[in-house]
Amino acid sequence: MRMRDMFGQATARWVRYNDYACVKDRHGEWYVVPTTKSTSTIYDSLENAEEMVVNALNIGLRCMTSEPDENRIAAEICVFAEKYGLLGFMTALPTTVEFMNYDTVYLPKNRFIREESMSSEKFAKIFFPFDDELNKNPPKHHVADDGSIKVSLAARDKPKAIEMSFQKSYAEPYEWLKKQFKDWALMFCASILYYEETDPLMADLHRKSISVFDGNVPSFHIELFDKPTLVWDFHSLMLMVHIVLGLILTDERKPLRSCKYCNRAFIAKNPKTEFCRHECKNRFNVYKSRGQ
């Protein structure tokens, strides 16, 4: 499935930096943030959306192990950010991405913040723990803090909160990222186990577990090209992953699968594919031939 076929016109520009690290703030909370010397790149997040979803799921599956390796998980989250950028919690959680135009931000029920509302400034500061001089209303087209104007160009015509989330000082809580990746993995596992489950009680549990993921949708506006056209607006990478995951899970061809050997998520190019790579197929056959 090509996401461009589903979203013919979409503002899917996103920013990623080439180096991220887990850093502890003065309160002892861990954040994922671009490093000081990192540089930014603008890219189209729809181009490799399926690959992005698979990478997110596999991080989540690692979080679900009985004894997760925190160092490895943190490293994989940083690598994910280097490939795709941070998820954009600041613009994904509020009722409107335009919240910086108001004194108060309203937050629908979510797994990260219990408060239903708070001041817009307080909410924004959650994501700038290392920026004491946070300017909640940055001027449009200002020179980005990595010495270029690329970030401002990426945020052209977007709400102020988008421009802020593209800045190098923008950070996201490590525990939030880990929880979100794990939630996506749980959604993936429930969609598989439900159809394999013979116990009605367990099947009902899988059904309920997947129902907690509400269907967020991108906003849209109309532009006049050769004809009036709907243009979809993805205001966060989190929303992009959530929607693309939902589209793949409901695809009748069932392209998203769990490797029969290593259990990693992968996109199957062939309907009969059961393994994520040849090495897994060979190892599975070796174990099978030995009766293990």
Q: Give residue 76's pLDDT.
A: 98
pLDDT tens for 96-150 read: 999 999 999 999 988 899 999 999 999 999 999 998 765 444 444 333 444 456 6
Phi, psi of 263 (to 5 degrees): 70, 10
The phi-psi region of residue 88 (left if phi > 0; otherwise alpha if psi is between -120 and 50; otherwise beta) is: left
pLDDT tens for 253-285 read: 889 999 999 999 999 988 889 999 999 999 888
pLDDT tens for 193-230 read: 887 777 778 778 777 777 766 666 788 888 787 888 77
- pTM comes to 0.87
241 neighbors 87 (Cβ within 8 angstroms): yes
Distance CA 233, CA 220 (A): 5
Q: Give residue 292's pLDDT.
A: 56
pLDDT tens for 140-166 read: 433 344 445 667 766 777 889 998 999
Pairing of strands 104-106, 256-258: unpaired
Q: Give residue 7's pLDDT.
A: 76
Written as six digits, the tokens of 252 are 């009748």
pLDDT category at 44 given cuts 50, 70, 90 is: confident
Q: What percent of the chain has pLDDT over 70?
A: 87
Phi, psi of 21 (to 5 degrees): -145, 160
